[in-house]
C-alpha cells in the first residue's frame, strides 16, 4: 500500500517538504522496449496461454488468528485454491458467484467458518458434493460439518447480491472503506488491506493463509474483468441479446487474500518489458490512453529493483488503472488509482517493490505490516535519490526527526493502534531502522541478506522473529536491542544500538 502523500497528521510544518513522494513522472525519458498495443482483448475463443494444473502443496500454510483483527479470518481452514466464477451486471449492480474452495482442515472441528459479507446472499453450500448445513450471520459463514485435521475438502458456495465496501480500520484520508467498490458507471475495483476480500467472495481473510486463485469473470462487452495472474482465456458470448466477455485468470503462486484484485471496466491492453525480460501488461481505461505514458516506467523500475532484490519473483506482472484514489500492491497485478500522484514513478516503484517485500513474503499477522512498508520506503527513497535531485541522507535524517511524533501518535510500528491501520509509523520508522543497518553493513552485504530473506521464505507468511533471526544469523551481529527498540519501543532509539 502506498504511503499517503503529505503528512497524514504530522504537525511539524515542513517536515516532509523534501519528502520522496513528489510526483515527477511525466518528464522522465524512457527507453524501454517498444510498446505493443491492442485496442481490444484477445480474440474470442483463443486462450492466451495454456491453463496449468495448480500445485496445491505450494499453498499449504499455518493459518492463525490475527492479533489485531481477530474477528476476521479463522484458523480452522487452510485455503489452498479459490476457484471463483463471477458474473457482474453493472446496471443492476449484481454480482453472481460460484466459489469453489479447496482447503485443508488445519485442525479438528465440529464446524468451521469463512468470512463473507452479509450484503451477499448464500444460495447453497456443498461440502465434497453433499449439501451442507450452514448459517450466514453478519460476515460469518458457518458450515456445520465436522472436519479432521489434515484432510482435504472441496466447498462450493453459490451466492449473489450487491456487494458494498466495508469500513476500514484507519484514520487515513485516502481511503475509509475496503473491498468491492463500484463507480457511478458500474465499474469495479477492489482494494482490501488489511481485509475486505470477504466483501466479494467467501474467504479466510487473514494474511497467514495464502492460496492459489483461478478467477473467471463475465461482464457485458466491451468491458473486461481483470484479476491476478495469467490471462488464460478471453471468450465472447451472447445471452438474452446481450454480448458478454468472459476472462479467466490463473494465479499459480499463492497469495494472501488482501493481495487479490478484481477490476472491471472498459479496458485497453498494452504491454512492454523490462531489460531483463519481465513482460508487463497494462490495463488502462480506454478513455485514458495517455496514462500509459506514466505507467510504462514500470519496466525500468523492475530493472532497478532486480539489481538490488534479485529476479522478479512471479511468472506474470501487470498494472491495472482504476477509479480509486490510492494504490495497492495486489500480487502480480498492481492496482493503481487514477490521479497524477498515484500514477507517478515513485508510487509505481513502491507497489512494484512490494511484489518482493509484501507479496513474495507476506506478514503472518497485521502487527508485522511494517515488514512490508519499512523496506519498501527505504527502497523508494534510494530510487528517488538515483533519479536525481534528492539527498537520501537528508531525507532519512528528517524521518528520524519525526519518529517520536509518529510513535506518540500511532504507537510503535510493531505495536500500533489497530484503529489506525496504515499510519505513517509503519513506513518511516522501520525505513530509518533498515537504513541504519544498510550503512553499517554496506550496500553489497545489506542487499545480499535482503535477497536471501526472500528466497529463504519464498511464497510464505512470516513473523518478525523470523526476520530478526535471519538478520542476526546472516550478519553475525547482536541485533535484538536494535530491533526491539525500533519496532516496539515507545521512544526514538538512540544511534549505536547495532551490535550492543
1 binding Zn ion? (CB under 5 A): yes
Grid cell at residue 374: 519499512
Region of residue 161 (phi > 0: left; psi between -120 and 50: alpha; otherwise: beta): left
- Please identify which residue in the block is written with the cell numbers 457485458: 220
| Shortest Å distance, C-beta 211 to Zn ion | 22
> Among residues 211 and 378, whose Cβ is nearest to Zn ion?
378
Smallest distance, Zn ion to C-beta of residue 372, A: 6
Quick note: the x/- pattern for Zn ion over 366-405, rule CB under 5 A, is -------x--x-----------------------------
Smallest gap from Cβ 373 to Zn ion, in A, equals 5
Q: How far is the CB of 190 from Zn ion (least distance, A)?
A: 17
| Cβ closest to Zn ion, residue 159 vs residue 370 | 370
Kindly provide the residue ranges of all beta strands, DSSP E only, lying in 203-323, ordered along the sequence: 211-220, 224-227, 230-239, 242-255, 262-265, 267-273, 279-285, 318-321
- Tell the burial category of 27 from Cβ atoms under 10 Å away from its Cβ (0-12, 13-18, 19+): exposed
Q: How far is the CB of 489 from Zn ion (least distance, A)?
A: 22
Identity of the residue, 95 or 352, whose beta carbon is nearer to Zn ion in the bound complex? 352
At residue 127, the 3 state secondary structure works out as strand
Report the residue number, 103 or 410, with the smaller CB distance to Zn ion.
410
Cβ nearer to Zn ion, comparing 235 with 373: 373
Q: CA-CA distance, 75 to 266, in Å (whole number)?
A: 38
Given the complex with Zn ion, which of 197 and 369 has the nearer CB atom? 369
CB of 172 to Zn ion, least distance (A): 12
Nearest-angstrom CA–CA distance, 449 and 132: 49
Q: x-or-dash pattern for Zn ion, window 319-358, by CB under 5 A?
A: ----------------------------------------
Shortest distance (Å) from residue 470 CB to Zn ion: 21
Closer to Zn ion by Cβ: residue 117 or 364: 364
Of residues 17 through 76, those in contact with Zn ion by CB under 5 A are none
Could you tell me how many residues of this chain bind Zn ion (CB under 5 A)?
3
Query: C-alpha grid cell for residue 475?
Result: 550478519
Dist CA 322 CA 339 (whole Å): 10
d(CA 306, CA 454): 12
- Nearest CB to Zn ion, comparing residues 155 and 378: 378
- Which of 297, 292, 276 lies closest to 31, judged by CA? 297
Nearer CB in complex with Zn ion: 1/168: 1
Q: Pick from 465, 428, 455, 466: which is nearest to 4 by CA?
A: 428
Closest-CB residue for Zn ion? 1
d(CA 265, CA 182): 10
Q: CB within 8 A of 53, min separation 6: which ones? A: none
Measure the CA–CA gap between 367 and 148, rounded to whole angstroms: 30
Q: Decide whether 182 or 334 has the Cβ nearer to Zn ion.
A: 334
**How is residue 109 annotated by DSSP?**
B
The C-alpha angle 142, 145, 148, rounded to 5 degrees, equals 115
* Shortest CB 96 distance to Zn ion, Å: 33
Stretch that binds Zn ion, among 1-9, 125-133, 386-394, 463-471 (CB under 5 A): 1-9
Least Å distance, CB 453 to Zn ion, is 17
426-485 residues in contact with Zn ion (CB under 5 A) are: none
Least distance to Zn ion, CB of residue 268, Å? 27
Reduced to 3 states (helix: H, G, I; strand: E, B; else coil), residue 133 is coil
CB 224 within 8 A of CB 267: yes
Nearer Cβ to Zn ion, position 1 or 297?
A: 1
Instruction: For strands 140-143 and 134-137, give the pairing.
Output: antiparallel
Of the pair 294, 373, the CB lying nearest Zn ion is at: 373
* Beta-strand relationship, 318-321 and 327-328: unpaired
Contact 328, 351 (CB under 8 A): yes
Torsion over CA: 483, 64, 204, 57 (sign): positive
**Which of 230/350 has CB closer to Zn ion?**
350
Q: What angle do CA 463, 467, 468 make, to 5 degrees?
A: 115
With cell 536494535, the residue in question is: 482
Q: Which helix (H) or strand (E) holds 472?
A: helix 464-475
Least distance to Zn ion, CB of residue 329, Å: 6
Q: Shortest Cβ distance from residue 4 to Zn ion (Å)?
A: 10
CB of 376 to Zn ion, least distance (A): 5
Task: Name 230's bridge partners.
Answer: 250
Contacts to Zn ion by CB under 5 A: 1, 373, 376
Amino acid at each position: 500500500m502506498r504511503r499517503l502523500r503529505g503528512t497524514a497528521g504530522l504537525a511539524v510544518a515542513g517536515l516532509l517538504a523534501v519528502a520522496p513522494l513528489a510526483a515527477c513522472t511525466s518528464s522522465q525519458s524512457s527507453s524501454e522496449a517498444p510498446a505493443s498495443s491492442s485496442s481490444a482483448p484477445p480474440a474470442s475463443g483463443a486462450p492466451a496461454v495454456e491453463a496449468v494444473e495448480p500445485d496445491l502443496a505450494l499453498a499449504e500454510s499455518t493459518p492463525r488468528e490475527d492479533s489485531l483483527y481477530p474477528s476476521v479470518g479463522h484458523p480452522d481452514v487452510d485455503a489452498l485454491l479459490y476457484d471463483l466464477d463471477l458474473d457482474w451486471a453493472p446496471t443492476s449492480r449484481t454480482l453472481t458467484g460460484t466459489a469453489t474452495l479447496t482447503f485443508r482442515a488445519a485442525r479438528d472441528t465440529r464446524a468451521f467458518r469463512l468470512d463473507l459479507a452479509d450484503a451477499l446472499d448464500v444460495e447453497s453450500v456443498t461440502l465434497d458434493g453433499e449439501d451442507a448445513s450452514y448459517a450466514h450471520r453478519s460476515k460469518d459463514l458457518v458450515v456445520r460439518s465436522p472436519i479432521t485435521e489434515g484432510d482435504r475438502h472441496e466447498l462450493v458456495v453459490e451466492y449473489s447480491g450487491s456487494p458494498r465496501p466495508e469500513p476500514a480500520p484507519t484514520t487515513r484520508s485516502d481511503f475509509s472503506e475496503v473491498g468491492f467498490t463500484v463507480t457511478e458507471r458500474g465499474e469495479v475495483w477492489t482494494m482490501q488491506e488489511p481485509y475486505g476480500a470477504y466483501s466479494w467472495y467467501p474467504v479466510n481473510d487473514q494474511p497467514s493463509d495464502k492460496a492459489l486463485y483461478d478467477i473467471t469473470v463475465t461482464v457485458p462487452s466491451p468491458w473486461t474483468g481483470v484479476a491476478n495472474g495469467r490471462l488464460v482465456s478471453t471468450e465472447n458470448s451472447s445471452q438474452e441479446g446481450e454480448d458478454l466477455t468472459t476472462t479467466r485468470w490463473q494465479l499459480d503462486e499463492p497469495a494472501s487474500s488482501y493481495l487479490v484484485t478484481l477490476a472491471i471496466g472498459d479496458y485497453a491492453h498494452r504491454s512492454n518489458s523490462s531489460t531483463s525480460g519481465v513482460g508487463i501488461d497494462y490495463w488502462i481505461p480506454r478513455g485514458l490512453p495517455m496514462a500509459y505514458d506514466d505507467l510504462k516506467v514500470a519496466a525500468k523500475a523492475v530493472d532497478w529493483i532486480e539489481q538490488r532484490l534479485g529476479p522478479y519473483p512471479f511468472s506474470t506482472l501487470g498494472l491495472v488503472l482504476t477509479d480509486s484514489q490510492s494504490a495497492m500492491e495486489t500480487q502480480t497485478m498492481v492496482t493503481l488509482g487514477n490521479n497524477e500522484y498515484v500514477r507517478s514513478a515513485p508510487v509505481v516503484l513502491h507497489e512494484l517493490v512490494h511484489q518482493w517485500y509484501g507479496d513474495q513474503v507476506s506478514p503472518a499477522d497485521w502487527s508485522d505490516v511494517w515488514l512490508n512498508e519499512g523496506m519498501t520506503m527505504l527502497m523508494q527513497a534510494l530510487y528517488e535519490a538515483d533519479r536525481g535531485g534528492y539527498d537520501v541522507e537528508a531525507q532519512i535524517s528528517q524521518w528520524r526527526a519525526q519518529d517520536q511524533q509518529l510513535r506518540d501518535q500511532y504507537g510503535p510500528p510493531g505495536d500500533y493502534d489497530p484503529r489506525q491501520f496504515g499510519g505513517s509509523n509503519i513506513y518511516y520508522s522501520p525505513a530509518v531502522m533498515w537504513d541504519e543497518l544498510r550503512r553499517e553493513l554496506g550496500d553489497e552485504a545489506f542487499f545480499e541478506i535482503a535477497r536471501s530473506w526472500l528466497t529463504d521464505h519464498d511464497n510464505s507468511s512470516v513473523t518478525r522473529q523470523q526476520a530478526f533471526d535471519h538478520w542476526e544469523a546472516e550478519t553475525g551481529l547482536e541485533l535484538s536491542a536494535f530491533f526491539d527498540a525500533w519496532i516496539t519501543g515507545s521512544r526514538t532509539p538512540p544511534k549505536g544500538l547495532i551490535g550492543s
